[in-house]
Amino acid sequence: MSVLEGLKVIDLTRGCCGAYAAMQLADYGARVVRPGEPPLDPARDALHFGMEYQPDLQLPKGLEGAGVLLAEADTLPDGLTRSVLRAQYPKLVCAVIREDGAVGGHLAEAACGMMDMTGFPDGAPTLSGGQSAECFAGVSLCFAITAALQNVENGGEGAWIDYSLYDTFYSLLESPILFRELTGTCPGRCGSADPATLVPYDVFACQDGYFSAGLASDAGWDRFCNAIGMSELIDDPRYDTNEKRCERYEEMTALFAPFFAGRTRAQLQEIFSAANIPSAPVLSAEEAMENEQIQARGMVRQAPAARDSFPLTCSPMKMSVTKPVCGG
C-alpha cells in the first residue's frame, strides 16, 4: 500500500512548481484530479502525466472528499476565498501559490537574488537549468502539504498554505547571506568554481567535454598534486594551504588546466578515483539517463502514451515502507 493511498487532491495549478508538487503526491498514491480534458500529447504535459482529468469537475462541489486543494492564486474560482474555504472545509489543506509563482520562476529567480549568483563573472545572470529551482519549490511545497496533513491526522484542523516562489528561492541563499555577514561582501557569479573558499574546486575543459574535480579542505592536497603529476606543488609555500590557493585562484587554474585539457573524461575519472579525489564527468541529461547509477537506482520510468511510451524521471525518495506509484 502506498503511503498516500486514499488521499484525494484537487489540482488547479498551471506552473511547474504546483505540477511538480502534485506529481510527488501522485507518485505516493494520492488520487490527483484535474478539471478539463486530458492533453492530446501527454509528453508535452509530462508533469501532469498519470493524473485523473474530469471535464465536468465543478467547485466547490468537487471538493467533497478531498484532503488537499492545490492552486495558484489566480486559478481559484471566484468566491472560493480563504475565509470561505476555511469555514466550509475545516479539514481541507489549501496550498495556494502566490501570483509570483503563476507568472513564472524566472521572475522570482531574478528578484530574489538567485539569478545574480548564477553564471560567470564576465557574463550575464542566468536561470538555473532545467527548471530546477521551480522543481525544488514543488518538493518544498509537497513537504508543507504532508506536514499539514499530519496535523489533520492528529486531530487538528486543516491549513491554508500561503506559498511563494520568491520566499522559497530566497531561502536557498543562506550561504551567501552568511558570507556577507562574516566578510562584509556578498559573493557574486563565479561560474562553477568557489574561489573565495575552496581551491581546487572547479570544472575544467577536457578532450571530450568538461570534468569536475576538487577538494573540500586542505586534506587531499598531496593526493591531488600527485594525481596531476605536479608533486612539486605539495610543499610550495605559495600553495600549501587552501587560503593561499584561494588568493591565487587564477594562477592555480592556469596551472591545472593543461592536465585536464590533454585527457578524456574517462581517463580523468580513472585517475581521480584511484587517488580518492572527489570528481565526476559533466554529463548531458541524455548521458545521465544511461548512467549506471541512474539505472541501478530506478530513476527512469517509461510512461505509456497513445502512440509511443516516453521517459520520465522517478521519485528520488526510496522508503522501506512503500514504493512510488510512478504515474500509475
Q: Return the domain boundaries, the chain.
A: 8-172+300-313, 201-282
For a pLDDT cut of 90, what percent of the chain falls above it? Answer: 61
**What digits encode the pLDDT tens for the residues 275-303?**
999 999 999 999 999 999 999 998 888 87
**Within 10 A of 301 (CB to CB), how many other CB atoms are there?**
18
pLDDT at 306: 58
Burial of residue 153 (number of CB atoms within 10 Å: 0-12, 13-18, 19+): exposed
Q: By the 8 A CB rule, do 59 and 33 touch? A: no
First to last CA, the chain: 13
The answer, yes or no, to whether residue 251 has pLDDT greater than 90, is yes
Q: Please name the fold of domain 8-172+300-313.
A: Rossmann fold (3.40.50)
Classify strands 8-11 and 68-72 as parallel, antiparallel or unpaired: parallel
Which of the four pLDDT bands, split at 50, 70 and 90, describes residue 270? very high
Do 94 and 76 touch, CB atoms closer than 8 A? no
pLDDT above 50 (res 328): no
For position 103, what pLDDT does the model report? 53
Beta strand ranges found along 40-83 (DSSP E)? 52-54, 68-72
For the chain, what percent of residues have pLDDT higher than 70?
Answer: 96
Pick the CATH number of 201-282 from 3.30.1540.10, 3.90.950.10, 3.90.550.10, 1.10.645.10: 3.30.1540.10
Is residue 324 predicted with pLDDT exceeding 80?
A: no
Q: What is the pLDDT of residue 310?
A: 81
